[in-house]
């Protein structure tokens, strides 16, 4: 890597940083001073001038509720004094309360915003009335005045004019302690996380060769990672970005829980709350769960099938690098004060309406990139798994984790175009004014819902099926048994994949779609329980007669069985339409999908991390810290999500920024015990978040002074345990690829029916060599 | 504030029963196996199926068992589907001669009859009531124009009346006052984005769309006051977009 490339990378990085800094300027702060640009009083020059002195008179030190005060605004100095008497203008903004005009020299722009009129521009002082709010607020006034030289009529415009700004403040009758702006908190935490990440990376760089440490090698080292196409390095990048965004999504969840911990809270305003739950969902699903799954898949799939790398390594790197760029786009809104506020489902027509924030456009743009990323990943993994398996490994000899990645990528590959189409329509609607979702122009209000859920439901299986694969591997290895019913496991996963495309309507039982369609969806949704049940019973039967070794990953896998089964059972309540009419959009739904997303996907990813970490790094993780992580996380996790079931049934709706408890039998009040439950949930949310630091600490400690890992620490059978820990690059030598033997000789010699069918689709080897 | 929907709780109880049975079975099994079959000799072996790196392990299956836990859950879900079936009728019965008959002529009453076993309500005829959603308020209209209903008389205030109601936390909200024993068909539309009124106590909701009318049955069987919340995300003031349902004798 030469210096030219380093400077090029630095230039690209600088441009990205500049883009992020400029982004907040691109959109005006929604609660800020409108009509007057932050950079100045827009028609009278860009820079304020010291010679102009604006004044606000008549402000009380402390206001009385709802009282009206007469206020005089005026200015001295500037060109007005030097022979241009009475030429000037002003703009006054107040954070709370209303400003009323008294005469024709002043006009109102909004309740809290006034300025001079045409008739009032020959004065240096104006009178207005301010009515204080009826509650306790810290009031801030901002006054901008122009001192004008009067040459505008002569064609000189605003040249020579000067202006300045002053602010005033009024205190509430009861002192208000300003709470931090949640967005400032979030943005600070994101920056802090980035700094911590950078420090960690630097430290890891130092640890790679402490004896020959040299800063000049840092550039090439980091560029080596950024430009790598090795499946293991890209997998690590996925892992780092996935864990990073899991943390960011977690911080957002904590802020949501702070808001909901007491009834009637105002830590987050409605507007902020809407952005928080939107960003939380989007971050967790698209920027945390999917990359974490891709991390494990990138690392393990080529190793498991005995391939030196993925089929299309450059495409793989591109799939990854689309993600951070998409993340920057999606997060742009947070730093410009108007993040997407549409919910992760982004229902039309709200998403194209004027009330949706400007950040929504950036959100849609980022999602389009993620669609591209997922599509490329799908192409890559399907190709790799179909054509790069080692000799002797038919489709029905593939390890179950590879099967799960194959099926989930197939589902994703088929379903995500629908989402992409919807996103592009919405993007065009928002940006260039097409009318896909404009109802007046004949747009269909349900089109988006159909497109989204046609993708959205397979998507939730896309993130859970790989967890099935992980659990299959871990349960079998830990119990020292071959998995019970390998074939039915594969067929069950394929069944889930197939059924996932015909059940999406259960998200839309209340949406006003055709009743007969709802009925069909009820039947198909109920069916999902069958293959899922087969998998759970097969896992349980695998343990039968085995010799279960309790390691951290075993604990996580058993925990998964418990939490995922609970999530599966609660899922059975939704297809029953008459119940869904009540449960839809309540906390029962929130409880259910967190039980399957966290108790399923995240627990599955943690299992995979503890299971394959020695293979990835060559270092063993600490079992005691791992057990501590499992116990704290498992208990706090259940404390966090279990009570939500009850909240939903009794009447707490999701996506509502607060709830009220105002007494027994008072209309609109939840039962008094719900205050306790919500506080309990919030405390557990913090505990669950903190428990993850055991994992982080474990990883860091093990990297620094962990025991060296043997090639096969747990006693698994698949190819990844044949290579060294960590594996070399390429993962298997090209001239000596492994060959799978089969303990069941009769099966190995006859290709499966599915294998024959797929082989027909493939180009024969002879034709390629010709 | 309690949920009083018999239709909901009837199904709920049945599903809870089966959830608990399935849960006890599965978790009992999980607990038993994870205790009984734990490795007693520490880390090392016995390697039951002689698992070896690079060798696809010996098959471990039993077709009868696998078929059993395909068929049995299937039978269970067929049963659960069957019991979920009947209530659908009450949710989507036809507006023309279904369980709620036809739209009431002047002076006629619904005379609701509730099957106390499953909460299924049948009635002689129904009244049409218009609901409009907009950001961020509900509007109830007892006497909508001809687009919505073709009745030629106005409903008396006894059967349908609208007003406002001060709800703690939510402020002044629109209310609709309906008569117990009557069945109403809500014909709903939105002026802007999608909304969804959730009649919490009755346990029903249905989306309100722009450009497309949706309908919902509201058989009133008890008296009291209930909150209506918006449960389809609609923007800024979504969580405070409420309404009040008052039912009287």
pLDDT tens digits, one per residue of A543-596: 988 888 889 999 999 999 999 999 999 999 999 888 898 999 999 999 999 999
Q: List the Cα angle A302/A306/A311 in 5-degree steps.
A: 45
In angstroms, the separation between the Cα of residue A270 and the nearest Cα of chain B is 6
Nearest CA in chain B to A545: B37
Q: List the Cα angle A5/A11/A15 in 5-degree steps.
A: 150
- The verdict on whether A309 is a catalytic residue reads yes
User: What does pLDDT average to over chain A?
Assistant: 86
Among B145, B147, B133, CA closest to B210 = B133
Check residue A458 and give its pLDDT: 93
- The verdict on whether A535 is a catalytic residue reads yes
Q: Angle at which helices A313-336 and A270-282 pack, to 10 degrees?
A: 170
User: What does pLDDT average to over chain B?
Assistant: 86
Residues of B in contact with A542 (CB under 8 A): 60
What does the pLDDT average to over A131-146?
Answer: 84
Task: Write out the H or E segment, with its range, that includes residue A144.
Answer: strand A139-147
Query: If pLDDT is split at 50, 70 and 90, which confidence band does A764 have?
Result: low
- The verdict on whether A457 is a catalytic residue reads yes
Of A550, A579, A715, Cβ closest to residue B47: A715
What does the pLDDT average to over A159-180?
Answer: 78
Q: Can you tell me the distance from the alpha carbon of A658 to that of A645, in angstroms, rounded to the nearest whole number?
A: 17
Could you tell me what percent of chain B has a pLDDT over 90? Answer: 37
Q: Using a CB cutoff of 8 Å and minimum separation of 24, what contacts does A623-628 make?
A: A623/A551, A623/A552, A625/A694, A625/A697, A625/A698, A625/A701, A626/A551, A626/A552, A626/A555, A626/A694, A626/A695, A626/A698, A627/A552, A627/A555, A628/A694
Whether B244 and A667 lie within 8 Å, measured CB to CB: yes
Nearest CA in chain B to A660: B169
Check residue A749 and give its pLDDT: 55
Q: Can you tell me the distance from the alpha carbon of A128 to that of A115, in angstroms, rounded to the nearest whole number?
A: 10
pLDDT at A336 > cutoff 80: no
In order of A261, A473, A588, A645, B228, the CA distances from A652 in angstroms are 13, 39, 9, 10, 12
Candidate from A40-49, A463-472, A535-544, A658-667 with smallest mean pLDDT: A40-49
Helix intervals (H) in A209-282: 218-226, 231-260, 270-282
B48 shares contact with chain A (CB less than 8 Å): yes
Residue of B214, B230, B235, B242 to mutate, testing the A interface (most A Cβ within 10 Å of its Cβ):
B235
Query: If pLDDT is split at 50, 70 and 90, which confidence band does B1 have?
Result: very low
Helix intervals (H) in A622-672: 623-650
User: DSSP letters of B96-117?
Assistant: TTBTTBEEPPTT-----EEETT
Please tell me which of A23-27, A383-387, B216-220 the model is most confident about, judged by mean pLDDT: A383-387
Candidate from A68-82, A150-164, A524-538, A578-592 with smallest mean pLDDT: A150-164
Strand-pairing partners, residue A165, are A144
Q: Can you tell me the distance from the alpha carbon of A409 to that of A404, in angstroms, rounded to the nearest whole number?
A: 8
Nearest CA in chain A to B136: A355
What are the tokens at B191? 């002026």
Residues of B in contact with A349 (CB under 8 A): 192-194, 210
Q: How many residues are there in chain A?
A: 770
Residue of B90, B207, B223, B240 to mutate, testing the A interface (most A Cβ within 10 Å of its Cβ):
B207
State the burial class of residue A731 (Cβ atoms within 10 Å of its Cβ: 0-12, 13-18, 19+). Answer: buried
Residues of A in contact with B226 (CB under 8 A): 667
What's the gap between Cα A187 and its chain centre?
14
Strand-pairing partners, residue B242, are B229
Whether A445 and B88 lie within 8 Å, measured CB to CB: no
* b/e burial code for range B132-142 (CB count within 10 A of at least 16 → b): bbbbbbbebbb
* Residue A150, phi then psi, degrees to nearest 5: 80, 15
pLDDT at A208 > cutoff 80: no
Check residue A325 and give its pLDDT: 92
Query: If pLDDT is split at 50, 70 and 90, which confidence band does A284 have?
Result: very high
The residue assigned the tokens 């690590």 is A236
Residues of B in contact with A578 (CB under 8 A): 7-8, 11, 84, 87-88, 90-91
Whether B69 and A545 lie within 8 Å, measured CB to CB: no
Check residue A613 and give its pLDDT: 94
Catalytic residue from among A506, A594, A615, A657: A506
User: DSSP letters of A471-501?
Assistant: HHHHHHHHTTSPPTTHHHHHHHHHHHHHHGG
Candidate from A450-459, B92-101, B220-229 with smallest mean pLDDT: B92-101
Nearest CA in chain B to A271: B236
Nearest CA in chain B to A492: B70
- The verdict on whether A321 is a catalytic residue reads no
User: DSSP letters of A312-354?
Assistant: -HHHHHHHHHHHHHHHHHHHHHHHHT----STTTT-TTGGGST
In angstroms, the separation between the Cα of residue A115 and the nearest Cα of chain B is 28
Check residue A27 and give its pLDDT: 39
Residue of A553, A559, A581 to mutate, testing the B interface (most B Cβ within 10 Å of its Cβ):
A581
Peptide bond into B171 cis (omega under 30): no
Query: If pLDDT is split at 50, 70 and 90, which confidence band does A134 have?
Result: confident
Query: If pLDDT is split at 50, 70 and 90, which confidence band does A63 have?
Result: confident
- The verdict on whether A374 is a catalytic residue reads yes
Whether A547 and B70 lie within 8 Å, measured CB to CB: no
- The verdict on whether A657 is a catalytic residue reads no
pLDDT per position as a tens digit, A625-669: 999 999 999 999 999 999 999 999 988 999 999 999 888 778 888
SS3 A74: strand
Whether this model's ipTM surpasses 0.90 comes out as: yes
CB–CB of A425/A437 below 8 Å? Answer: yes
Of B8, B12, B37, Cβ closest to residue A547: B37
pTM of the model: 0.82
What are the tokens at A403? 């099967």
What are the tokens at A322? 């689309």
Task: Write out the H or E segment, with its range, that includes residue B120.
Answer: strand B120-122
Q: Which residue has the higher pLDDT, A129 or A515?
A: A129
Q: Which residue has the higher pLDDT, A34 or A240?
A: A240
Check residue A31 and give its pLDDT: 37
CB neighbour list of residue A430: distance below 8 Å, 6 or more residues apart: A351, A352, A360, A361, A364
Of B205, B214, B239, Cβ closest to residue A584: B205
Query: If pLDDT is split at 50, 70 and 90, which confidence band does A24 have?
Result: very low
């Amino acid at each position: 890597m030469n210096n030219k490339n380093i400077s090029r990378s630095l230039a690209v990085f600088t441009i990205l940083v500049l883009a992020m800094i400029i982004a907040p300027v691109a959109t005006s702060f929604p609660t800020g001073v409108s009509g007057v640009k932050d950079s100045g009083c827009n028609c009278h020059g860009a820079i304020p001038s010291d010679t102009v002195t604006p004044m606000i008179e008549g402000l009380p030190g402390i206001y009385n509720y709802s009282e009206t005060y007469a206020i005089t605004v005026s200015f001295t100095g500037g060109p007005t004094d030097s022979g241009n008497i009475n030429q000037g203008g002003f703009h006054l903004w107040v954070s709370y309360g209303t400003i009323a005009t008294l005469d024709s020299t002043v006009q109102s722009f909004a309740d809290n915003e006034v300025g001079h009129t045409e008739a009032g521009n020959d004065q240096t002082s104006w009178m207005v009335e301010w009515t204080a709010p009826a509650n306790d607020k810290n009031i801030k006034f901002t006054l901008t005045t122009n001192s004008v030289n009067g040459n505008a009529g002569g064609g000189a415009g605003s040249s020579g004019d000067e202006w300045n700004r002053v602010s005033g403040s009024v205190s509430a009758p009861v002192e208000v302690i300003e709470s931090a702006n949640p967005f400032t908190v979030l943005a600070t935490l994101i920056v802090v996380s980035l700094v911590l990440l950078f420090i960690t990376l630097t430290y890891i760089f130092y640890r790679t060769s402490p004896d020959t440490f040299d800063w000049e090698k840092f550039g090439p080292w980091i560029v080596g990672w950024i430009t790598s196409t090795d499946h293991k390095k890209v997998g690590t990048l996925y892992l780092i970005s996935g864990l990073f965004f899991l943390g960011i999504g977690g911080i957002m969840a904590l802020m949501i829980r702070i808001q909901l911990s007491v009834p009637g809270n105002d830590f987050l305003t409605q507007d902020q709350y809407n952005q928080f739950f939107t960003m939380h969902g989007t971050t967790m699903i698209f920027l945390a769960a999917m990359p974490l799954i891709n991390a494990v898949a990138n690392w393990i799939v080529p190793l498991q099938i005995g391939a030196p790398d993925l089929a299309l390594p450059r495409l793989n790197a591109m799939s990854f690098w689309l993600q951070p760029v998409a993340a920057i786009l999606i997060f742009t809104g947070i730093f410009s004060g108007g993040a997407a506020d549409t919910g992760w489902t982004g229902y039309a027509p709200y998403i194209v309406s004027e009330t949706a924030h400007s950040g929504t456009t950036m959100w849609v743009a980022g999602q389009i990139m993620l669609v591209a990323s997922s599509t490329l990943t799908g192409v890559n993994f399907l190709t790799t798994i179909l054509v790069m398996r080692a000799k002797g490994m038919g489709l029905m000899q593939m390890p179950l984790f590879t099967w799960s990645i194959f099926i989930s990528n197939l589902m994703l590959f088929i379903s995500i175009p629908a989402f992409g189409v919807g996103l592009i329509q919405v993007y065009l609607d928002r940006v260039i004014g097409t009318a896909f979702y404009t109802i007046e122009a004949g747009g269909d209000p349900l089109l988006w819902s159909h497109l989204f859920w046609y993708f959205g439901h397979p998507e939730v299986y896309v993130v859970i099926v790989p967890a099935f694969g992980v659990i299959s591997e871990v349960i079998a290895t830990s119990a020292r048994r071959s998995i019970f019913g390998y074939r039915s496991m594969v067929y069950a996963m394929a069944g889930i994949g197939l059924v996932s495309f015909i059940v999406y309507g259960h998200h839309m039982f209340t949406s006003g779609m055709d009743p007969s369609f709802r009925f069909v969806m009820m039947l198909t949704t109920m069916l999902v329980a069958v293959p899922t049940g087969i998998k759970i019973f097969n896992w349980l039967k695998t343990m039968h007669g085995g010799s279960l070794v309790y390691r951290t990953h075993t604990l996580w896998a058993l925990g998964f069985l418990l939490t995922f089964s609970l999530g599966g059972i609660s899922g059975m309540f939704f297809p029953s339409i008459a119940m869904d009419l009540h449960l839809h959009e309540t906390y029962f739904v929130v409880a259910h999908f967190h039980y399957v997303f966290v108790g399923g996907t995240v627990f599955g990813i943690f299992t995979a991390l503890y299971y394959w970490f020695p293979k990835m790094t060559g270092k063993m993780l600490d079992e005691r810290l791992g057990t501590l992580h499992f116990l704290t996380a498992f208990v706090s996790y259940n404390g966090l999500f279990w009570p939500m079931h009850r909240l939903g049934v009794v009447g707490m709706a999701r996506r509502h920024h607060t709830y009220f408890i105002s007494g027994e039998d008072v209309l609109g009040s939840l039962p008094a015990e719900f205050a306790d439950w919500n506080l309990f949930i919030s405390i557990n949310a913090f505990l669950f978040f903190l428990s993850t630091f055991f994992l982080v600490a474990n990883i860091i400690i093990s990297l620094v002074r962990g025991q060296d890992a043997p090639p096969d620490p747990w006693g698994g059978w698949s190819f990844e345990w044949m290579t060294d820990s960590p594996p070399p690059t390429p993962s298997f030598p090209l001239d000596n690829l492994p060959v799978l033997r089969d303990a069941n000789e009769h099966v190995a010699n006859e290709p499966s029916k599915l294998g024959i069918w797929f082989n027909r689709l493939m180009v024969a080897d002879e034709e390629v060599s010709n | 504030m309690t949920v009083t929907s018999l239709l909901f709780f009837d199904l709920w109880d049945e599903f809870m029963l089966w959830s608990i049975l399935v849960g006890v079975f599965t978790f009992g099994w999980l607990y038993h196996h994870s205790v009984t079959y734990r490795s007693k000799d520490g880390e090392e072996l016995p390697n039951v199926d002689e698992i070896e790196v690079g060798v696809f392990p010996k098959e471990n299956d039993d077709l009868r068992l696998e078929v059993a836990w395909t068929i049995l859950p299937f039978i269970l879900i067929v049963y659960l589907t069957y019991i979920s079936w009947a209530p659908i009728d009450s949710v989507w019965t036809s507006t023309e001669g279904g369980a709620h008959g036809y739209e009431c002529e002047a002076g006629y009453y619904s005379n609701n009859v509730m099957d106390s076993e499953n909460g299924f309500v049948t009635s002689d005829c129904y009244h049409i009531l218009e609901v409009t959603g907009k950001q961020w308020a509900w509007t109830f209209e007892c006497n909508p124009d001809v687009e919505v209903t073709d009745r030629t008389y106005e409903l008396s205030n006894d059967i349908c009346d609208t007003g406002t109601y001060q709800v703690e936390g939510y402020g002044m909200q629109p209310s609709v006052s309906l008569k117990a024993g009557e069945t109403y068909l809500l014909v709903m539309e939105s002026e802007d984005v999608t909304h969804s009124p959730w009649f919490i106590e009755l346990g029903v909701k249905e989306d309100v769309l722009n450009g497309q009318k949706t309908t919902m049955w509201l058989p009133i069987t008890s008296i009291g006051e209930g909150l209506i919340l918006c449960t389809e995300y609609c923007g800024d003031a979504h969580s405070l977009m409420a309404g009040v349902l008052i039912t009287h004798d």
